[in-house]
Amino acid sequence: MSAGLSVSRPAVVVVGASRGLGRSIARVAAREGGPVVLVARSRDGLADVAAELRAAGAEPFTVALDLLSGDAAQRLQEELDRSGLYCDVLVNSAGIGLRGAATLLPVKDQIGIIDVNIRALSELTLHFLKGMVARKRGGVLNLGSIASFTPGPGMAMYYASKGFVRSFSEGLYTEMRPFGVTVTCACPGPVATEFLVLSGAGKSMLFKALPRLDPDYVAERAWRGFRARRRIVIPGLSAKLAALASSVVPSALMLPLIARLQRRSSDLCPCGSGKRYGNCCGK
């Protein structure tokens, strides 16, 4: 499997481009004029984004791919080779989350968070970094979260997965910098996308308390930060303050507060009794 043909053209590959932040980042990246490869499962979603980019004069390509298929990097590479492109910039925006008690959420779904947010992101990053370093150009823009700055009781697997994304990205940033390759981690707070509905996070007090940013605004900040070769981008004042609070407030205070704000009054007790949290052993 080649990591990019010398005669091929550089492309921005946006994984998770069928909607949300990925779609917004694809829009911003397309303004630079080069080919943009849109990756996600939904063919309709990809076709819709591609039509929008084409109408704006850009050159989109679509690759319908399930990151859980096990051979995502290889299949994506084959599609790039077929189109005479190489991955100059990789944007890892595909991500999933789940709010709820770890003992009540299905184990399979929680492990699925690791598969998409950690395994697939790592596999794609490692696959395409080799070519970037050989060419001494390009880079990776990973979508972390303010959740990457603290453990998150009530959404533990998601926060842990984002902690991995930030740590992995920051390590690679320093490792790749001497070779002219940038790895940036964008760490937004709540953004008004379907993620908040699908993950259930939008129903928690925590996400209701923080302002929801516009995905286009977050995409602009993330892309500008990436092009400025920044290690971390935290779009918006509220997210910056939340990240700061995570680093200065002791965990003994911070974690129970997050647990409280992430819980809903209708949540069931993690003990499995089927009773509501407040009417059972939960405090």
The question of whether 158 is a catalytic residue gets the answer: yes
Q: Interface mask (CB under 6 A) for ligand NAP, residues 164-203, using x and -? A: ------------------------x-xx-xxxx-x-----
Q: Does 62 bind ligand NAP (CB under 6 A)?
A: no
Q: Does 76 bind ligand NAP (CB under 6 A)?
A: no
Q: Which among 52-60, 78-86, 90-98, 247-255 is the span making contact with ligand NAP, rule CB under 6 A?
A: 90-98
* Residue with smaller CB distance to ligand NAP, 5 or 51: 51
Q: How far, in Å, CA of 90 to CA of 148, rounded?
A: 20
CB 83 within 8 A of CB 185: no
The only residue of 41, 75, 227, 230 in contact with ligand NAP, by rule CB under 6 A = 41
CB 62 within 8 A of CB 46: yes
| Cα 168 from chain centroid (whole Å) | 13
Q: Which among 12-20, 51-59, 80-88, 253-261 is the span making contact with ligand NAP, rule CB under 6 A?
A: 12-20
Which residue's entry shows tokens 């492309």?
11
Q: How far, in Å, CA of 186 to CA of 131, rounded?
A: 22
- Catalytic one of 158, 159, 173, 277: 158
Q: Does 40 bind ligand NAP (CB under 6 A)?
A: yes
Query: Residue 59: what are its φ and ψ, rounded to 5°?
Result: -120, 85
Query: Residue 187: what are its φ and ψ, rounded to 5°?
Result: -125, 75
Q: Which of 218, 229, 179, 242 is nearest to 21 (CA)?
A: 218
Q: Does 42 bind ligand NAP (CB under 6 A)?
A: yes
| Cα 280 from chain centroid (whole Å) | 36
Q: Does 111 bind ligand NAP (CB under 6 A)?
A: no
Alpha helical stretches, state H, 199-236 = 205-209, 215-227
The only residue of 4, 35, 45, 163 in contact with ligand NAP, by rule CB under 6 A = 45
- The least distance separating ligand NAP from the CB of residue 59, rounded to whole angstroms, comes to 20
Q: How many CB atoms lie within 10 A of CB 219?
A: 27
> Residues in the site for ligand NAP, rule: CB under 6 A?
16-22, 40-42, 45, 65-68, 93-97, 116, 143, 145, 188, 190-191, 193-196, 198
